[in-house]
Amino acid sequence: MQDNDIHQVIPILREAAKAWSPALVDDKGRKHEWGPYQVLIATILSLRTKDTLTAVVAPRLFVVADNPHDMITHSVDEIAEVIYPVGFYRNKAKSIIDISHRLIAEYNGQVPDELDELLKLPGVGRKTANLVLTAGFNKLGICVDVHVHRISNRWGYVETKTPEETEFALREKLPQEYWIEYNGLLVSMGQNLCTPTSPWCSKCPVFTFCDRGGVTRSR
């Protein structure tokens, strides 16, 4: 993919994405169905967990507590029971309680809207912090998960080894007008079309722009 091709690729993906299942957290944030705290907690839940499961567990948790003050009235064991069977549910329950305590103690119960402050929260890495910025606050950020990392490299738009390298490469070359929506579009594409193995290249609306890096088998 040539650098300038991104200006054609993004509009094509916007249209194609209307037929795909949306990326859960991006979609809930964009529709203002979840606020920053819910976006943050749902993103913690979603780590190494499929959206289909997160879509069930997150609302179940938010019935119990959808703000840090209510969350800390529950024990780690109680939260773990509610969020089972998401991956690493016990560790995530502890992170959720720890984050909630930290938000109350240091941020008046509010989720900070700056990357550096978000990264100070327990269990929050760059992927989570950037998604809170974009989906929770509609602020500039580049969230890079496995789908974004894979597809950006598969296209040949970046050449990186890790998601963190991909984030910084995208910060250098991806026009800011696409930053907020980039994660949601590529996650949806990765879940529905550009899968890790045997992607649906025959159905891909941006096939002609793709270098197909690393693709050895496709449909």
Give the pLDDT of residue 30.
93
Both structure tokens of 61: 């948790």
pTM recorded for the entire structure: 0.92
Instruction: Give the residue from 203, 36, 191, 29 showing the smallest Cα distance to 113.
Output: 36
Give the pLDDT of residue 8.
98
Domains located in the chain, CATH noted: 3-20+142-209 (1.10.1670.10), 24-137 (1.10.340.30)
Cβ burial 115-141 (10 Å sphere, 16+ → b, else e): eeebeebeebebbbbbbbbbbbbeeeb
Give the pLDDT of residue 32.
95
Give the pLDDT of residue 130.
97
Give the pLDDT of residue 115.
97
110: CB partners within 8 A, 6+ apart: 36, 103
Give the pLDDT of residue 173.
97
Consecutive sets of 10 residues in the chain, 219 residues long: mean pLDDT of each? 96 96 94 97 94 96 98 98 96 98 98 97 95 97 96 98 97 97 96 95 97 94
Peptide bond into 163 cis (omega under 30): no
Give the pLDDT of residue 52.
94
Give the pLDDT of residue 152.
98
